[in-house]
Amino acid sequence: KLGYQAKHSEKVSGTYMLLPKLASDFKSLGAKDFQLGGLALYKIKKSELFKYHAGLYYNGELFGPFVVPLLGFYYKSENKKFEANFTLPIWADVNYSLTNWMNIGTNFSAFVRSYHLSQSDAYVAKKTNEVFGYLQFNIKKSFIFQTKVGYSIGRSYKAYEDNDKTDFAFSAFRFGDNRTVLNPTFDNGIIFRVRLLYRFHIKEKL
């Protein structure tokens, strides 16, 4: 990933990223295993505790061009216990600090990905929406341990022939989608996840 963050004014900043991706079964790499995308996101600072953001995500998926508009906000309460971070339609997180070492929260994520299957001249399109409830344990200043339980909504892993594509995809909408599915799909189900995170704390120079 390659990115640049610019401060356009006292209240407006922009993040611009180039997002190359290797999406493959790794059995035989070729040009179809590489994808190129990008992101532009603008943030508008209303106060130290509240910010808007809006932008656009693009990726050259194997099923065709894929564009997602992004709109959201970030909010933190004055007592620093409640936090909300929304970047719709792909991400949302709300959490509350029960103690200095434990948070309780819920989050939502929506993913659309495609992976090339090199030995069968086909690709898999993955689509899922996941809702989680979680407990977060702040072990030290930089180490975070999360236990999560959730449920998938509209989960599918569908295989298509390489040349079977859509004309254009805009967020959840597909235009010119007459593709033929080559495999049985997956049902929705419960998801369990455990995460160990490390945060870098960078001090700004005055």
pTM over 0.85: no
Task: Decide if 122 contacts 115 (C-beta within 8 A).
Answer: no
Q: What is the Cα gyration radius of the chain?
A: 20
From 107, 106, 113, select the one nearest 60 (Cα to Cα): 113
Residue-wise pLDDT for 184-197, tens only, equals 877 889 999 999 98
**Residues whose CB falls within 8 Å of the CB of residue 114, separated by 6 or more in sequence, listed in order:** 23, 35, 61, 62, 63, 123, 124, 125, 126
Which residues lie across from 36 on neighbouring strands? 20
**Residues whose CB falls within 8 Å of the CB of residue 206, separated by 6 or more in sequence, listed in order:** none
Distances (CA, A) of 55 to 2, 108, 129: 17, 19, 21
From 164, 48, 76, select the one nearest 114 (Cα to Cα): 164
Average pLDDT over residues 64-77: 96
Question: Residue 48: helix, strand or coil by DSSP?
Answer: coil
d(CA 64, CA 174): 10
Give exposure, 120-152, as e/b (b: 16+ Cβ within 10 Å): eebbbbebbbbebebebebeeeeebebebebeb
Residue 206 has pLDDT above 50, yes or no: no
Residue 59 has pLDDT above 60, yes or no: yes
Residue 3 has pLDDT above 70, yes or no: yes
Give the pLDDT confidence score for residue 200 in this predicted structure.
81
